[in-house]
Structure formats: structure tokens, C-alpha cells
Amino acid sequence: MEKLVRIKRLTLKNPFIASSGTCGYANVEEIPLHLFGAAVTKTITFTPREGNRPPRLAETPAGLINSIGLQNMGLSAFKTFLQDFVKPTTLLVSVGGETPEEFSSILHELSKYDIIDGFELNLSCPNLRLGGEVVGKDYISVSTILDACVKATNKPILVKLSPFTEELGKILDYWEPLLEGFVLFNTFPAMEIDLKSGQPLLGAVSGGLSGPAIYPIVLNSVYKHKDHTIIASGGIASPQIAQKFILAGAKALEIGTANLWNPEFIKSLVSEEE
Amino acid sequence: MVNKTFDIQQEDFDTYKLISFGPVDEIPQPGQFYMFCTDYLKKPFSVAFVQENDIFFIIKKAGNFTSNIPSKLRIEGPYGKPFPKPSPNSTLISGGAGIGPICFLAQNLTQSHTVYRWFHGENEERSLRLLDRLPANPHQCTVLPTLVTDILNPSSSPYFACGPRAMLKMVVNKLGMSGFVSMEERMACGFGACYGCVIPTTSGYKRVCKEGPVFQAGDVAWRNL
């Protein structure tokens, strides 16, 4: 039995959400996205972004480092894309930017589209920097963006945070009543060195680590903050790990790298629920 | 498309392994690849030939994965855009582990009685032992210090190439842009979801797994590679 999940104003047919960056614009046919409670698009920025210089991927034990750098079609092309898009499940659009104004303009524009059920603010991409600092670094920088965002849309808002966000407790306490929930976490800043060249392997030098390597660290944070509305994200690559996050108090679970490793991974979770 | 666990057959050829699984219902096309998946890792390999619905791959022993391929693997594919059908008198060029997709092209051309010329380059003599096992063979092989590009003659016929990037750049320099190249990049998914396997092209970064792995030589931004 697939369990219906209510996260304030968002209703999902099950707690499993396909993560941003692992299912294209919620249009990757190889992944059975209709089996998910929701799918989050690639992060949309105001103007198209070419993304980071390759190589963009590094293999690690039980994990994956990526430095895609938010390659995306940009707001204008995304609006055109939405015109004949048939969504496979509840559709959440991931939104990114470098200023509060960039976030709020995108939310304002996209709020006109009925097909969109809500937004996930990407305040945590380790590949996106504002004046050398990660966007959403601490309470002030997160709040500046969230202030602008809640005024720009009436649709549900989730915010995806970096594992290294400072003053996390303060952010959760203040913003809990104003948002649908908090996604803990985006990838962990990481890098790899190529032994042949002696140089950093990734074109962008550093990227973000995902996969089961990080799940116990995320589990620790989810459990610690379980009194808030937490959507767990980080290394959910088996039904057992999924179950641990539910037991830790997560209201829903984002599945990311596991979709890349096996596009039919969701089938193991949905049957596990039955 | 398949996404299931197969028994993996392996034959050892010194620097190479010949790997196979099957049978499959859907026969892939030259240039297409499958993902070999372990729990937390997947790697793309281009098809080298097909025999009685079994799919064969030529794999260079290079790292941990290629030296210790498990006897059972989950396989996904075929993925990627294949080579277009070569016209008669096309030139086929391969270097090292790039022999796979070119061999499959040669197998298909041989079966359809289409005339072609195939040139292959290797780092060392012992790597050529594998060739006797293949359903199609290069017409001319080189071993270092001779490069495969040393024996190519500029001509107007289209070419189809796969090999190390340094080789592909030399091919393009010598033969121009009227050809097709199969490109290689590390992949996380293989089906276009992650945008991790991009290469620079004349119209921005393109995914090797989806827009490729076969590209028109003129579309690749060689200077930025």
C-alpha cells in the first residue's frame, strides 16, 4: 500500500521524491517517475547556464562526486517547455539564483503555471557561489532569500539546505511556520585528485558528494531536527536506508543518486511499502 | 531495453578481456553502449560485436573494475546514438580500447557486403593477439612508435573513428571534419538524467550518453577538449 503523505499544503501519494538533478526536467523516460510521490526538476535559473567545465564526475567508494554546475535551459525556455509538458506526478520546480531578486522573479513568473505544485529552493548547490560564499551559508543569507521568496508566490515552498549551513536550528525555528518543509541536505562539498596527473580530477576542482557514503551523517541531522518538517535527502540507496530515515522522523524522502545508478530503483521502495 | 542481471562470460587476451552476456531480444546498433552496474558504480562499454544474440565487449584491463569484472552484473542498455550507416569505401579508424565500436561497425559492413578500409593502432604488439578472435579484422595495424594516423591518407571519403582523444585530434587534423567520432566520458547514469558526461561542442556542452557517444567530427569543440 502506497502511503499518502501530507506535508502541510502538499499532498503526495507516497513519501518518495525524485531529487533535483537526477530526473532532468521531471521528463526522463527511463525513470518511472509516475511511481514517485513527487519529482523535482533540475534547478532553473533566470538565464540559461552552461554548467561547469568537464570532467564533472568522480567515482568514490559508495558515493559519487558531481560538479554539474546547474547546467539548465533558463527560465524563458523552461516556460516554453511547460506549455506541452504532461507531468508524471506531483511537480516541484527547483529554483536557483545568485541574488534574492533572481529567486523571487523566477517564483513570480512560474507561479502562473497550474502544472507546478510547488517549489524547492536550491540554497545549497556547492557548485554555485556568490562572492566566493555558498548561497545560503547562514541565517542571514538564507533569510534574505526566503523573505523575497515567500512574498513572490502562494505555492508551497520547500528549501534545500547545505549540510554546512550555519545556525541551522535558528533557520528551522524561524522559518518552520512560513514554509512547507526543509530538505536536509544537498550534496557535501568534496573533491578528488587524479593520481596520474597529480591534479584535481574535476574541471571545477570541487563538487558535491552524494550516495550512501553520506547517509549516516544526514540521518544524524534528520533525527536531531525531527520536530521540524524534514524531508531527508542523502544516500537513500536501499529500502533499509529509506526505512531508517522514516524512523528518524523524516516526513518524506528524496531519492537522487540511486535513480542514476538504477532508473528502476523506486520499484524496490514502492514494493517495500506494500 | 534491458535492465537485469546477467551471467558474464570472460575470455582473457593479455591486455584485453572479451566480455559477453546474453541473449538479448533487442540487437543494438554500432556505436551504442551498455552500462555495467555494481551496487554503487556503473560504467559504459560500447558493443564490439554480436553473435547469436549475445553481446560482446572488448575491455582494456586498466583499473580495478576492468581487472576484476564480477561473474554476474546488472546490465542496462542499449543507450546512446549509433553511428550513421557508412557509405561504401568508408575509412574506419580505431586506437587501443576504441576498437570496440569500430569492430561492430566493421562486422555490420562485412555482413552487408559493403566495402570499407579499417586501420587500427596499438601501444604494444601483444595487444594484437585479440584480433584473431574478432568477427572482422583491421586491414592494417600499427604499433608504437608508429601511430595509426601515420598510415592514413587524406581522402574525401567519410571516416568513422574511436580511440584516445589525442588520436582523435590527430585524425581530425589529418582528415578534416567529414567524419564521425565516438567519444568517451565518465558517466553516472548513461541515460541523460545527470548531465555529468558532457563534452564541449560548437553549440555548448552536450551529453555523451544522449546526444552522443557518436558525434559529427565538426560538431566537437576540439580546442576545448
Yes or no, beta carbons of A54 and B200 under 8 Å apart: yes
Q: How far does the CA of residue B196 sit from the closest CA of chain A (Å)?
A: 5
pLDDT tens for chain B, 225 residues: list them.
899 999 999 999 989 999 999 999 999 999 999 999 998 999 999 999 999 999 999 999 988 888 889 999 999 999 999 999 999 999 999 999 999 999 999 999 999 999 999 999 999 989 899 999 999 999 999 999 989 998 988 876 799 999 999 999 999 999 999 999 999 999 999 999 999 999 999 999 999 999 999 999 999 999 998
Are A160 and A185 a contacting pair, CB within 8 Å? Answer: yes
Return the amino acid letter for B31. G
Determine, for residues B193 and A30 on separate chains, whether the beta-carbon distance falls below 8 Å.
Answer: yes
Q: How confident is the model at residue A135 (pLDDT cuts 50, 70, 90)?
A: confident
Q: What's at A221, amino acid-wise? A: S
Nearest partner of B1 among B26, B23, B20, B22, judged by Cα:
B26
Residue A134: enclosing H or E segment and its boundaries?
strand A133-134
CA atoms of B205 and A123, how far apart (whole Å)? 24
Q: Do the two domains B2-79 and B90-224 of this chain adopt the same fold?
A: no
Q: For chain B, give every domain's residue range.
A: 2-79, 90-224
d(CA A84, CA A78): 11
DSSP-derived pairing of the beta strands B41-46 and B159-162: unpaired
Q: Within an 8 Å CB–CB cutoff, is residue B62 touching chain A?
A: no
- Does A119 score more than 60 pLDDT? yes
- Give dist(CA A161, CA A33) in Å, integer: 24
Residues of chain A in Cβ contact (below 8 Å) with chain B = 21-24, 28, 30-31, 42, 50-51, 54-59, 61-64, 66, 68, 71, 211-212, 237, 257, 259-264
B151 Cα to chain A: minimum distance (Å): 30
Q: What is the CA angle A60-A264-B28, rounded to 5?
A: 90
| Fold held by B90-224 | Rossmann fold (3.40.50)
Burial of A195 (0-12, 13-18, 19+ CB in 10 A): exposed
d(C-alpha A222, C-alpha A244), whole Å: 10
- Outline where chain A has alpha helix (H): 74-83, 100-110, 139-152, 168-175, 215-224, 239-248, 257-261, 266-273
* pLDDT at site B24: 95
Interchain CB contact of B144 with A (< 8 Å): no
Distance of CA B77 to the CA centre of its chain: 15
A contact test, residue of B39, B76, B165, B194 with most A CBs within 10 A: B194
Which B residues 41-60 touch A at CB under 8 Å?
41-42
H helix count then E strand count, chain A: 8, 18
Distance of CA B46 to the CA centre of its chain: 5
Please give the angle made by the CA atoms of A218, A224 and A225, to the nearest 5 degrees.
Answer: 95
Q: How far is CA A212 from CA A17, A208, B197, in A?
A: 17, 13, 21
Q: What is the nearest CA distance from B187 to chain A, expressed in angstroms? A: 7
Whether B164 has its CB under 8 Å from any CB of chain A: the answer is no
Chain A contact set for B37 (CB, 8 A): 261-262
Grid coordinates representing A195 are 593520481
pLDDT category of residue A274 using cuts at 50, 70 and 90: very low
Closest to A35 measured CA to CA, from A55, A12, A51: A12
Partners of residue A133 on adjacent β-strands: A130
* Inter-chain CB proximity B196 and A59 less than 8 Å: no
Q: Which superfamily does CATH assign the domain made up of B2-79 to?
A: Translation factors (2.40.30.10)
CA B13 to CA B133: how far, in whole Å? Answer: 9
Three-state DSSP state, B53? coil
- Residue B159 CA: distances (Å) to CA of B86, B150, B201: 8, 15, 19
A121-135, A153-167, A260-274: which range is least confident on average? A121-135
Task: Using a CB–CB cutoff of 8 Å, tell me whether B2 touches chain A.
Answer: no
Of A25, A33, A19, residue with least CA distance to A89: A33
**B200 has a chain A CB within 8 A of its CB:** yes
Rounded Cα distance between B167 and B104, Å, is: 20
Measure CA of the first residue to CA of the last residue in chain B; give whole Å: 31
Q: How many CA atoms lie within 13 A of B18 on its CB side?
A: 19
Closest partner residue to A21 (CB to CB) among B41, B74, B194 is B194
Assign A1 a pLDDT band (cuts: 50, 70, 90): very low
Contact at CB, A58 and B186, closer than 8 angstroms: yes
Residue A109 phi/psi, 5-degree rounding, is -65, -45
d(CA A32, CA A35): 6
* C-alpha dihedral, A107 to A111 to A113 to A116, nearest 10°: 70
Domains of chain A: 5-273 (3.20.20.70)
Query: Measured between alpha carbons, how far is A217 from A223 in angstroms, rounded to an integer?
Result: 10
- How far does the CA of residue B3 sit from the closest CA of chain A (Å)? 8
* Angstrom distance (rounded) from CA A24 to CA A42: 6
CB count within 10 Å of CB A110 equals: 21
Q: Which residues of B touch A71 (CB under 8 A)?
A: 195, 198, 205
Kindly report the length of chain B: 225
> Given a cut of 60, is residue A130 above it in pLDDT?
no
Are the C-beta atoms of A65 and B40 separated by less than 8 Å? no
pLDDT tens digits for range A199-257: 999 999 999 999 999 999 999 999 999 999 999 999 999 999 999 999 999 999 999 99
Over residues A123-146, the mean pLDDT reads 77
Using a pLDDT cut of 70, give the percent of chain A over it. 95
| Minimal-distance CA residue of chain A relative to B37 | A261
Q: Is A125 an active-site residue?
A: yes
Q: Which of A5, A65, A125, A190 is catalytic?
A: A125
The amino acid present at B12, given as its one-letter code, is D
Nearest CA distance, B50 vs chain A (angstrom): 24
